[in-house]
Amino acid sequence: MKKGKCLIGTSGWYYQHWLGRFYPEDISKDKLLPYFAQSFNTVELNNTFYHLPKGPTVEGWCKKTPEDFVFALKASRFITHIKRLANLGDSLEVFLERTSLLNAKRGPLLYQLPPSMKKDRKRLVSFLKKLPRKLRSVVEFRHQSWLDDEIFKLLRRYNVAHCIVSMPDFPTVFEQTADFVYIRMHGGSALYRSSYTDKELKGVASSLNRFLKKGLDVYVYFNNDAYGYAVKNALALKDILRVA
CATH code: domain 6-243 is: 3.20.20.410
Indicate the average pLDDT of the chain.
Answer: 96
**CA dist., res. 71 & res. 132, Å (int):** 18
Interval 153-171 mean pLDDT = 97
Average pLDDT for residues 87-111, to the nearest whole number?
Answer: 96
The continuous run of DSSP H or E covering 156 comes out as helix 149-157
CA dihedral 150, 155, 161, 167 (to 10 degrees): -30
Q: How far apart are CA 213 and CA 188, in angstroms?
A: 26
Radius of gyration of the chain (CA): 17
Yes or no: say if 15 and 46 are a contact pair by the CB < 8 Å rule: no
Q: Is the pTM value of this prediction over 0.85?
A: yes
The reported pLDDT for the residue numbered 2 is 82
Please give the Cα distance from 139 to 80 (Å, whole number). 10
pLDDT of the residue at 111: 98
Average pLDDT of span 214-233: 98
Bridge partner list, 11? 44
User: What percent of the chain is predicted at pLDDT more than 90?
Assistant: 96
Neighbours of 87 (CB within 10 A): 8
In the predicted structure, residue 15 carries a pLDDT above the cut 90: yes
| pLDDT value for 77 | 96
Q: How far apart are CA 197 and CA 203, in angstroms?
A: 10
Confidence of residue 244 (pLDDT cuts 50, 70, 90): low
Compute the distance between CA of residue 92 and CA of residue 157 in angstroms, rounded to an integer: 21
Mean pLDDT of 161-167: 98
Q: Would the CA dihedral through 119, 123, 127, 128 be positive or negative?
A: positive
| Percent of the chain surpassing pLDDT 70 | 99
Query: Which tens digit of pLDDT belongs to each residue from 100-122?
Result: 999 999 999 999 999 999 999 99
Task: Tell me: pLDDT of 190 over 80.
Answer: yes
In 89-133, which ranges are E strands? 106-112
Q: Measured between alpha carbons, how far is 131 from 98 in angstroms, rounded to an integer?
A: 15
227, burial (CB in 10 Å: exposed 0-12, middle 13-18, buried 19+)? middle
* Beta strands across the sheet bearing 217-222: 6-10, 217-222, 180-185, 164-166
pLDDT in tens, 20-52: 999 999 999 999 999 999 999 999 999 999 999
Compute how many other C-beta atoms are within 10 angstroms of the C-beta atom of residue 100: 11
- Does position 11 have pLDDT exceeding 80, yes or no? yes
